[in-house]
Every structure is written in structure tokens, then in C-alpha cells.
Amino acid sequence: MPIIINLDQVLADRNMKSKDLAEIVGITEANLSILKSGKAKAVRFSTLEAICQALDCQPGDILAFSSPAPSKGGE
């Protein structure tokens, strides 16, 4: 998936544990783990807002876009 989640990095910078973030944001640790591992298919704006508020950061600090590598054989 070309969307990369940098939540681990931001959490480490803030010296915050996943458990604490999950509690502040109001989501389960399992769901936060899904988000961190990149398995999530979508993120609600309300969740993103709560995470940004809790970590005092911008959505761009957590999410990044990486264009997929071009397939072989192309010109």
C-alpha cells in the first residue's frame, strides 16, 4: 500500500506508549495496532483529529505517501 503510517516514529518522539494513545483517542489497542501495522483500509477523520490532538502534530506527520515502484517492462 503506498500510504505509510509513521505513528511509531511520532510516538517515540513524544515518548508516549501505544496503550496511552489508544486510551486518549478512545480506540482499542487492537485497532491502533491495525493502524500502526498498515493493515487499516481507512481512517476516520474523527480518529485522525483525536490522534493529532493527542500527539500535537499534523496529519502529514503521521501519514506519508510513497509512490509504488514502476513495474518491470515499462518504458
Partner 1 sequence: MNLNKLFKLLIDLAFFLMIPIVVFFPGTILYILIFPEQSIINVNIPFTSTGFGGKALLFTLAFFALFLLFFFGFYQLRKFAGLLLKGKLFSKEVVLCTNKAGRFFTTCALGSFLFVGVNAILTNSGKFSITFGSSNFNLLLFLLIVGVLFLLLSDAFRKALALKEENDLTV
Binding residues (CB under 8 A) for partner 1: these are 27, 31-32, 34-35, 39-44, 47
Smallest gap from residue 44 Cβ to partner 1 (A): 7
Smallest gap from residue 38 Cβ to partner 1 (A): 11
Give whichever of 24 and 70 is closer to partner 1, judged by the CB atom.
24
DSSP conformation class of 41: S
Burial 17-53 (b: 16+ CB within 10 A, else e): eeeebbeebebeeeebeebbeeebeeeeeebeebbbe
Give whichever of 16 and 27 is closer to partner 1, judged by the CB atom.
27
